[in-house]
Amino acid sequence: DQQVKQNSPSLSVQEGRISILNCDYTNSMFDYFLWYKKYPAEGPTFLISISSIKDKNEDGRFTVFLNKSAKHLSLHIVPSQPGDSAVYFCAASGNTGFQKLVFGTGTRLLVSP
Amino acid sequence: EPEVTQTPSHQVTQMGQEVILRCVPISNHLYFYWYRQILGQKVEFLVSFYNNEISEKSEIFDDQFSVERPDGSNFTLKIRSTKLEDSAMYFCASSEEASGSTDTQYFGPGTRLTVL
């Protein structure tokens, strides 16, 4: 049951460039989307979120775009920094009461100096 | 900044033994969750908890699992008789609300459970 998919297992970007991480979902009941960053042996750290009533949310270097018709969201990091190297998870929750998160499989981002 | 804490960071146990994983959610949060991540797999929802009762659980959360909020600060996950396949990272999370923009779930650092 892959309701949330991250089709790129890894991404390599040079420092200063833009990183674009993609996520697709299949469940039209999802209405809240989040990106988490995770280092090895640590818990997911919340980065940024977006509600389905918006198509863009920006926080510093991080911008999340949501295309509801395509059931697609993306996370843009600009400029990328070596400290951004981590695994990035897309997660979604639905408007059905208590909000369990459904996670994607993650994309490992490597930002090289 | 408030954070979710979990103890222990690593628990090794023998198959068939009971384990209790402990979490202290963020103090003003009302909704609590357990997730797990088996090595190399995605983070999976186990259970959500609100107002001293389970609000939702996954099919993973069978009769071997239970959760409890024994006091005003701790939230525990008990596995009654551990199996080899219970080996995973277990993450506790909490949120202020369950819907809308304040339902962002904040995760603890995890407990690595190793069942031998």
pLDDT in tens, B45-59: 999 998 889 989 999
Phi, psi of B85 (to 5 degrees): -75, 0
Query: Chain B closest CA to A60's CA: distance in Å?
Result: 18
Neighbours of B70 (CB within 10 A): 10
For position A31, what pLDDT does the model report? 87
A68-101 pLDDT, tens digit each: 999 999 999 999 999 999 999 999 988 655 578 9
Considering chain B, what percentage of its residues have pLDDT values greater than 90?
74
**Size of chain B in residues:** 116
Q: Which residues of A touch B100 (CB under 8 A)?
A: 32, 51
Contact flag A99-B42 (C-beta cutoff 8 Å): no
Interchain proximity A46–B107, CB inside 8 Å = yes
Q: What is the pLDDT of residue B13?
A: 97
On average, the pLDDT of chain B sits at 92
Q: How would you class A7 by CB atoms within 10 Å of its CB: exposed for 0-12, middle for 13-18, buried for 19 or more?
A: exposed
Contacts of B54 in chain A (CB under 8 A): none
**pLDDT at position B104 over 60:** yes
Q: Is A3 on the interface with B (CB under 8 A)?
A: no
> With contacts defined as CB-CB under 8 Å, which chain B residues touch A89?
42-43
Smallest Cα distance from A34 to chain B, Å: 8
The reply to whether A10 touches chain B by the CB within 8 Å rule is no
Question: B58: helix, coil or strand?
Answer: coil
The three-class DSSP label of residue A82 is helix
Task: Please compute, for residue A72, the number of CA atoms within 13 A of its CA located in the half-sphere on the CB side.
Answer: 8
At B51-81, the pLDDT tens digits run 889 989 999 999 999 999 988 789 999 999 9
B84 part of contact set with chain A, CB < 8 Å? no
- Per-residue pLDDT, averaged over B20-36, amounts to 94
Instruction: Share the mean pLDDT of chain A.
Output: 92
pLDDT tens per residue across span A16-59 = 999 999 999 998 888 889 999 999 888 999 999 999 999 999 99
